[in-house]
């Protein structure tokens, strides 16, 4: 069998019974986390605009717009919920795709799952299938330079993951699934220059909708190339970077070892891009360890990796969205407040005079030898001549090696969900996800996160 056929066979024939119990546990955590950040994102400007858009466009009312108080067609619900899930940049990250694995996949699953009256087990199963497909494709194209070329992997690989999950949810056969992957490949898009704008979260919603559309069309008999992944003008060769693309990594261990348990998922403690988190953790630690007060600081020098510099590229952000991709703002905010929270990424917060004054004291230095996103060096010089230095080379909290506690994960969900939901619906939805494998109809969960007061 060729690459696409093997991937399609995995999508069609994989069941929850074949999946490791640890994979199911991680999937449930990811579903809870993603659902929470969707609710938080529904309250943002971009979330409100997207909700208004899909309401105005209209559609067959079968799938819930999270936090919106109404239902629409599955593709439009996936677009809205995917966009809202990425609006705060508070959603999880995946190492195999160098992006956000849950936010393109889960909205597609929920939209189709509600339409199909799927069970909680169906949702978990489709989520893991989608995660594995986007991750395996990531293992092939990310090392080749896909991300470095400017593609946003959440959008590109995410669309393929969403198509895989959607195909599984609709129970497509082998040929239909190959068609769905082919259709999705021709919808792939999303460029990184749009980071720090409303279009970045749109990438996730667009990917989720693309996956739904691809699977729905394939079910009706729409055709595409059957070997879209491996062919010369297919997905991998078109979207790879300048380096060779190792196609064998896509099917190596597929269905035997699971990326969700090996490369894993990183959950966020701060609502900004992951490349700012090492800086936030470091300045918070220095602030606490030495009792640093912002007004006593003379200067802050921060040595960062090339990855951090190329993702968190706003040195003088003007908007809340740009602040999410600014090392300077995140350091200044953490030093000023002793925390970084959802409310800190508004235009007003980013332009707060006291914080702007701290930002003027920060200098970033690029060290190409620094690896990844968790290793930085920071030196804070005080006006009285003291200097405080810290090298952050440990694994960030929330990474698979340092997982969030149950209390931290559910606390984050409550923090996000209570923005729109009643206390009763927050706890009800939390309980339903925690026992998701026992849920007979996913509509019971989506009804609790609809936010009836918004209708």
Task: Let me know: does 48 contact 55? Beta carbons within 8 Å.
Answer: no
Domain boundary among 347, 365, 392: 392
Claim to verify: residue 362 and residue 428 sit in the same structural domain: no
Host domain of residue 334: 274-392
> What is the pLDDT, as a whole number, of residue 32?
98
Claim to verify: residue 50 and residue 164 sit in the same structural domain: yes
Claim to verify: residue 202 and residue 239 sit in the same structural domain: yes
Report residue 426: phi and psi, to 5°.
-60, -50
Helix residue ranges per DSSP H, 344-387: 347-350, 353-359
The span from the CA of 210 to the CA of 180, in Å, is 10
Claim to verify: residue 237 and residue 290 sit in the same structural domain: no
Q: Give the CATH number for residue 10.
A: 1.10.4100.10
The span from the CA of 438 to the CA of 83, in Å, is 28
Claim to verify: residue 367 and residue 432 sit in the same structural domain: no
Claim to verify: residue 23 and residue 172 sit in the same structural domain: yes
Handedness of CA 196, 101, 83, 209 (dihedral sign): positive
Claim to verify: residue 381 and residue 431 sit in the same structural domain: no
Claim to verify: residue 374 and residue 301 sit in the same structural domain: yes
Q: Count of domains in the chain?
A: 2
For 403, which DSSP code?
P
- pTM score of the predicted model: 0.95
> What is the pLDDT, as a whole number, of residue 144?
93
Q: Give the CATH number for residue 279.
A: 3.30.1330.120
Claim to verify: residue 299 and residue 411 sit in the same structural domain: no
> What is the pLDDT, as a whole number, of residue 455?
60
Q: What is the dihedral of CA 94, 13, 26, 76, to 10 degrees?
A: 70
Claim to verify: residue 289 and residue 412 sit in the same structural domain: no
The span from the CA of 259 to the CA of 442, in Å, is 25
> What is the pLDDT, as a whole number, of residue 184?
98
Claim to verify: residue 210 and residue 299 sit in the same structural domain: no
pLDDT, averaged per 10 consecutive residues of the chain (455 residues), comes to 97 96 97 98 97 96 96 98 98 96 98 96 98 97 93 98 98 98 97 97 98 98 98 95 92 96 96 95 96 97 92 95 97 97 97 98 89 84 97 87 95 97 97 97 96 73
> What is the pLDDT, as a whole number, of residue 453?
75
Claim to verify: residue 253 and residue 188 sit in the same structural domain: yes
Domain boundary among 365, 392, 419: 392
Domain boundary among 370, 392, 414: 392
């Amino acid at each position: 069998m060729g690459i696409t056929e093997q991937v399609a066979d995995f999508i069609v024939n994989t069941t929850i019974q074949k999946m490791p119990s640890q994979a199911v546990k991680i999937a449930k955590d990811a579903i809870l986390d993603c659902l929470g950040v969707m609710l938080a994102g529904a309250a943002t400007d971009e979330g409100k605009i997207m909700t208004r858009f899909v309401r105005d466009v209209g559609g067959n009312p079968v799938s819930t717009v999270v936090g919106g108080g109404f239902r629409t067609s599955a593709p439009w619900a996936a677009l809205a919920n995917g966009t809202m899930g990425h609006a705060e940049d508070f959603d999880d990250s995946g190492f195999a795709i160098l992006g956000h694995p849950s936010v393109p996949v889960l909205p597609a699953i929920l939209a189709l799952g509600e339409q199909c009256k799927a069970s909680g087990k169906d949702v978990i199963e489709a989520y893991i299938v989608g995660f594995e497909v986007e991750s395996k494709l990531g293992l092939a194209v990310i090392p080749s330079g896909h991300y470095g070329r400017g593609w946003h992997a959440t959008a590109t690989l995410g669309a393929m993951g969403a198509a895989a999950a959607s195909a599984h949810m609709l129970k497509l056969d082998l040929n239909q699934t190959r068609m769905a992957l082919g259709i999705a490949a021709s919808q792939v898009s999303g460029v990184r220059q749009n980071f720090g704008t409303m279009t970045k979260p749109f990438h996730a919603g667009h990917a989720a909708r693309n996956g739904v559309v691809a699977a729905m069309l394939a079910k009706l008999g729409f055709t595409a190339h059957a070997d879209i992944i491996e062919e010369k003008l297919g997905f991998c060769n078109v979207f790879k970077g300048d380096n060779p693309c190792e196609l064998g990594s896509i099917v190596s261990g597929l269905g035997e070892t699971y990326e969700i348990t090996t490369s894993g998922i990183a959950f966020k403690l701060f609502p900004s891009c992951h490349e700012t988190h090492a800086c936030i953790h470091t300045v918070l630690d220095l602030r606490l360890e030495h009792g640093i007060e912002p007004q006593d600081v003379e200067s802050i020098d921060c040595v960062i990796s090339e990855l951090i510099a190329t993702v968190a590229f706003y040195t003088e952000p003007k908007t809340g969205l740009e602040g999410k991709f600014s090392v300077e703002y995140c350091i200044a905010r953490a030093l000023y407040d002793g925390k970084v929270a959802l409310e800190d990424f508004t235009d007003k917060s980013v332009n707060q005079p006291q914080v702007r004054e701290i930002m003027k004291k920060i200098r970033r230095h690029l060290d190409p030898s620094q690896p990844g996103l968790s290793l930085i060096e920071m030196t804070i010089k005080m006006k009285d001549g003291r200097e405080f230095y810290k090298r952050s080379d440990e694994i960030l909290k929330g990474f698979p090696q340092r997982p969030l506690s149950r209390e931290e994960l559910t606390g984050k969900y409550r923090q996000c969900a209570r923005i729109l939901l009643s206390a009763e619906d927050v706890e009800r939805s939390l309980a339903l996800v925690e026992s998701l494998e026992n849920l007979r109809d996913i509509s019971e969960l989506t009804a609790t996160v609809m936010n009836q007061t918004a209708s």
